[in-house]
Amino acid sequence: MIPHDIKDPSLVEMGVKRIEWAERDMPVLRKIRERFEREKPLEGINVAACLHVTTETANLVRTLAAGGANVRLCASNPLSTQDDVAAALVHHYGISVFAIKGEDTDTYYQHIEACLEFDPKITHDDGADLVATLHEKYADTKAKNIWGSMEETTTGVIRLKALEKQGKLLFPVFAINDAMTKHLFDNRYGTGQSTLDGIIRATNRLIAGMTVVVAGYGWCGRGFAMRAKGHGARVIVTEVDPIKALEAKMDGFEVMPMEKAAPLGDIFCTITGDINVIRPEHFEKMKDGAIVANSGHFNVEIDIPGLEKMAKEVRRQVRPFVDQYILPDGRSIFLLAEGRLINLAAAEGHPAAVMDMSFALQALTGEYVAKNKGNFPVAVHNVPEEIDRWVAEIKLETMGVEIDKLTEEQKKYLASWDMGT
């Protein structure tokens, strides 16, 4: 039996059904899998993936395995694992998985270790926990074997660029997040829709008529603000970047500091990548019954220790994913999913149609790393432009959308215009 640590093997049938359902919406990845099956570009290569264990990720790791890779998968978030998917991957598709929904921190890191045990050459990360472990514990050993690593998300790319800046990065990494076909769609439409979905599933509240406060107007925040407005909410944006704040204002949202938004909001959601965006001084001003969630970075965007300290009583799980914090004056603040990513904890993460593009980039960039055997400078690299454009072209093709092509005359004109002639 392949090495694994999952919750419940009996969930395999449900997992297979859901993975196949997601696959229907992942035509670009399917096309890559069919080619990988024929060409085996990853033959015999050990690949470790630390990603949310969801139906879409299952289709990525199936693609890598179809390319001939030996794959091990662990979770990039202890709450996002779908146990039926883990069961299906192990017992139906024969892929090693180490992930259990709700695992404690020790188990989470043991599972990362299990993925590193077989000395991977290529890694896929979402938040850079696996790469961080390689840097912290295996700088002189396993890190030296790595050809390259793919990083899925904004936070991970920020961590990796910080390492690069300090001269501490040990191997080449590719910022999947920074590819156009990733953040323009995944962060905006994927996080936008699934964050609202998570809040609705956790609370069953009617969004129409609510005041929703969005902290951060980056790619994810924009998507969420747009969807909340579409549901009939009054949306307030808080920002620290004057350009993003101006954009939010011109997109028709109210913009103000969190201190002023705190007494107005019914639902708060942080999506910034920053720490302590909502703090005790804000909880102090919130309405009784305010709902607070995060869809950004781990569980640090809301000052939960601060809220714990303020509360005179905490009632856990008043509904699944909802903890009630009762303040000394009797007001309640409802914290969703312990401040972890609400779209993954209470909903199902990004819909397959956007993950199709992100994971096509992961698979093709992995192939690119394998082809070049990691022969790149040690740096944070962009995904090659031709991969990004190919993904967009095929996605359009699968949607039945045709576009114009430049004529020879137009190509010449634009080229000469570029040269300023």
Near ligand NAI by CB under 6 A: residue from 63, 77, 82, 153: 153
Near ligand NAI by CB under 6 A: residue from 142, 297, 340, 395: 297
Q: Does 271 bind ligand NAI (CB under 6 A)?
A: yes
How near is the Cβ of 156 to ligand NAI at its closest, in Å?
Answer: 7
- Identify the CA nearest to 114 among candidates 289, 103, 377, 179: 103
Look up tokens 């919750």; give the residue.
7
Closest CB to ligand NAI among residues 51, 143? 51
Point out which residues pair with 332 in neighbouring strands.
Answer: 326
Q: Which residues 6+ apart lie within 8 Å of 340 measured at CB?
A: 77, 78, 79, 294, 298, 299
C-beta nearest to ligand NAI: residue: 218
**Residue 336 backbone phi and psi in degrees, to 5:** -95, 140
User: Which pair of structure tokens corresponds to residue 348?
Assistant: 């199902």
Closest CB to ligand NAI among residues 117, 254? 254
Closest CB to ligand NAI among residues 5, 247? 247
**Range in contact with ligand NAI (rule: CB under 6 A) among 97-105, 289-297, 360-368, 407-415:** 289-297
How near is the Cβ of 39 to ligand NAI at its closest, in Å?
Answer: 31
Distance CA 277, CA 303 (A): 7
Q: Does 59 bind ligand NAI (CB under 6 A)?
A: no
CB distance 271 to 295 below 8 Å? yes
How near is the Cβ of 240 to ligand NAI at its closest, in Å?
Answer: 4
Closest CB to ligand NAI among residues 133, 155? 155
Near ligand NAI by CB under 6 A: residue from 46, 96, 295, 358: 295
Site string for ligand NAI, 229-258 (x = CB under 6 A): ---------xxxx--x--------------
Q: Does 273 bind ligand NAI (CB under 6 A)?
A: yes
Site string for ligand NAI, 164-203 (x = CB under 6 A): -------------------x---x---x------------
Q: Does 220 bind ligand NAI (CB under 6 A)?
A: yes
How near is the Cβ of 188 to ligand NAI at its closest, in Å?
Answer: 8
Q: Does 277 bind ligand NAI (CB under 6 A)?
A: yes
How near is the Cβ of 196 to ligand NAI at its closest, in Å?
Answer: 11
CB distance 373 to 145 below 8 Å? no
Q: Which residues 6+ apart lie within 8 Å of 347 measured at CB?
A: 194, 195, 197, 198, 201
Closest CB to ligand NAI among residues 74, 341? 341
Q: Which residues 6+ apart lie within 8 Å of 94 measured at CB?
A: 2, 65
Closest CB to ligand NAI among residues 172, 296? 296
Q: Which residues bind ligand NAI (CB under 6 A)?
A: 153-155, 183, 187, 191, 215-221, 238-241, 244, 271-274, 277, 295-297, 341, 343-344
